[in-house]
Amino acid sequence: MRLFRKTLASFFLGVRSFLFMVSFFAVTILLIGFFCWVLLLPERYVYVHVRLWSYLITLCLKYIAGITSQVIGLENIPPGPAIIAMRHESTWETVVMFLYIRHLTFVVKEELTWIPFFNLFLRKFRCISVKRGQKGANVRTFLKQGKELLAKEYHLLIFPEGSRMAPGTLRPFRGGLGLLYGQAGVPVIPAVLNSGRCWPRRRFYKFPGTVTLRFLPAIPAGMPRECFLEHFTQLFTEAYQELEEGGGS
């Protein structure tokens, strides 16, 4: 009987996960394919369109996959330019961030710029494209374009660990964060989350639960780079460990 219940639960979890993925691609194709004309409008109207996409996907997550969200510390995001250095565990954070941050851009893998129509939106948001295996060139591109975007009042979202991480694991932070902080003269907002518990990387199943995203207080500009990296590492690591232990709220 226990095996039967487990098999039945796995079956329904698979069905819900399949229905969510169908809805995810249906909403994405519909909004990108039929409403790509918004790219002809000023940037602020395109952001409205993408926020609609984010909102519809979060509804699909809630009512199909059973995944809800809890966002803490939005008051820590300043109205002016800032670097948001976020934990990366899942596709979840790349979907929902437009709901919470108005003037947002981010760093993307070059492969994403090859997707028809989708790449037009990436260009509209002035996303920074980086190539695999070109560390030096990527750092130069990141610093140059990052400073330009921050000078234009953007919020720049980066993943300081460099790629999606499995829940509970930590990786040394990439050096680009410290370099950009030292040159751009804007605050850094550390952000931690546990999205990989519900939407694991490289897995089909989506597990019901609540994703917690927490924005920490901003680290002001002007600290020496070494001091900043030490302070950021301590804040980020302690906040993430607290979240993993169930103290996210």
Asked if the structure places residue 216 within a domain, the reply is yes
Identify whether the C-beta of residue 81 lies closer than 8 Å to the C-beta of residue 186. yes
Rounded to whole angstroms, what are the CA distances from 141 to 85, 98, 158, 167?
A: 18, 24, 14, 30
Give the mean pLDDT of 208-215: 95
Cα 163–chain centre separation: 11
Supply the CATH number for residue 190's domain.
3.40.1130.10
Asked if the structure places residue 24 within a domain, the reply is no
Tell me 167's DSSP state. Answer: T
Q: How confident is the model at residue 198, as a pLDDT?
A: 93
Asked if the structure places residue 71 within a domain, the reply is yes
Phi, psi of 172 (to 5 degrees): -55, 140
| Higher-pLDDT residue of 86, 7 | 86
Q: What band does 106 get if pLDDT is binned at 50, 70 and 90?
A: confident
- In tens, the pLDDT along 11-43 reads 788 889 999 999 999 998 888 777 778 878 888
Does residue 248 have a pLDDT over 50? no
Q: How many Å apart are CA 178 and CA 211, to the nearest integer? A: 28
**pTM given for the model:** 0.86
- Nearest Cα to 216, choosing from 23, 54, 49, 83? 83
Q: Which two tokens stand for residue 159?
A: 């993943």
Asked if the structure places residue 42 within a domain, the reply is no
- Nearest Cα to 127, choosing from 89, 160, 96, 94? 94
Q: Which two tokens stand for residue 90?
A: 């899942």
Q: How many Å apart are CA 181 and CA 218, to the nearest integer? A: 12
Phi, psi of 86 (to 5 degrees): -115, 145
Q: How confident is the model at residue 212, as a pLDDT?
A: 94
Q: How confident is the model at residue 210, as a pLDDT?
A: 94
Q: How confident is the model at residue 71, as a pLDDT?
A: 94
- Is the sign of the CA dihedral 75, 79, 80, 82 positive or negative? positive
Asked if the structure places residue 55 within a domain, the reply is no
Three-state DSSP at 109 gives: strand
- In tens, the pLDDT along 48-61 reads 888 999 999 999 99
Q: How many Å apart are CA 237 and CA 92, to the nearest integer? A: 21
Tell me 55's DSSP state. Answer: H
Does residue 5 have a pLDDT over 70? no
Rounded to whole angstroms, what are the CA distances from 99 to 48, 94, 135, 231?
A: 9, 11, 31, 28
Does residue 133 have a pLDDT over 60? no
Asked if the structure places residue 80 within a domain, the reply is yes
Domain total in the chain: 1
Average pLDDT, the chain: 85
Q: Can you give the residue range of the structural domain that contains 171?
A: 66-244
Asked if the structure places residue 12 within a domain, the reply is no
Asked if the structure places residue 168 within a domain, the reply is yes
CA atoms within 13 A on the CB side of 125: 26
| Higher-pLDDT residue of 103, 55 | 55
